[in-house]
Amino acid sequence: MSTDIQRLLDIECIKQLKSRYCRYIDTKQWDLLPGLFSDDVRFDGFASAPTGSNGAAFVKGVSTRLDAAFTMHHCHTPDIVFIDDDAARGVWAMADYMEWPEPIGLPDAPKARGMYGFGHYEEEYRRIDGEWKMSHLRLRRMRLIPLPEDHPRQSGAVSPAENDWLPVAGR
């Protein structure tokens, strides 16, 4: 297979990896999240885990912080470059919405029940045993807009835990 075609296939695999990352967080599929990461993954810039955290600390932190929250993560416009055949870096524009049942004590908005966030993910990927994995994730937020205490609460939506998700081939 030509190198150009292989690169396109690899980019598509990395895009699917990122899609799963967002979906597993938003649907609270905490048990599937670790399978996206290399054994030596590191995280930076996340409120749910200290800088330099490994995969286990990140999953524990994000599951604890977001379990009661409604979240929706969107990642767009991936810019993926290859370091070599089995390593790549990417930058993704991101927007997220997070809403908790009660105020969460944001430093600049202690009565806020959530936030809209905007920024970028900077990531590194490695192909391990033929499968792309995330090996470094850094979140750089450019803007946070707090949800006021009286922000209308979600109603009538199906909880992610209640959804009957279609199985993904090979997963």
CATH of the domain at 94: 3.10.450.50
For 45, half-sphere exposure in the C-beta direction (CA atoms, 13 angstrom radius) is: 12
For 109, half-sphere exposure in the C-beta direction (CA atoms, 13 angstrom radius) is: 15
Look at the block and give the residue holding tokens 């409604």: 70
Task: Give the chain's domain count.
Answer: 1
Q: What angle do CA 73, 19, 12 make, to 5 degrees?
A: 145
Please give the residue range of the domain that contains residue 120: 3-152
Instruction: Report if residue 167 sits inside a domain.
Output: no
Q: Which residues of 90-127 are buried (b: 16+ CB within 10 A; e: fewer)?
A: bbbebebbbbbeebbebeebeebbbbebebbbbbbbbb
On whether the pTM is more than 0.75, the answer is: yes
Instruction: Report if residue 165 sits inside a domain.
Output: no
- Per-residue pLDDT tens, the chain, 171 aa: give them: 678 999 999 999 999 999 999 999 999 999 999 999 999 999 999 988 999 999 999 999 999 999 999 999 999 999 999 999 999 999 999 999 999 998 888 777 888 999 999 999 999 999 999 999 999 999 999 999 998 878 777 665 556 556 566 656 555
Q: In the numeric block, which tokens belong to residue 103?
A: 């105020």
N residues, the chain = 171
Tell me if 106 sits within 8 A of 116, measured CB to CB.
no
Instruction: Report if residue 170 sits inside a domain.
Output: no
Report pLDDT for 18.
98
Instruction: Report if residue 27 sits inside a domain.
Output: yes
Instruction: Report if residue 164 sits inside a domain.
Output: no
Instruction: Report if residue 62 sits inside a domain.
Output: yes
Instruction: Report if residue 159 sits inside a domain.
Output: no
Report pLDDT for 155.
62
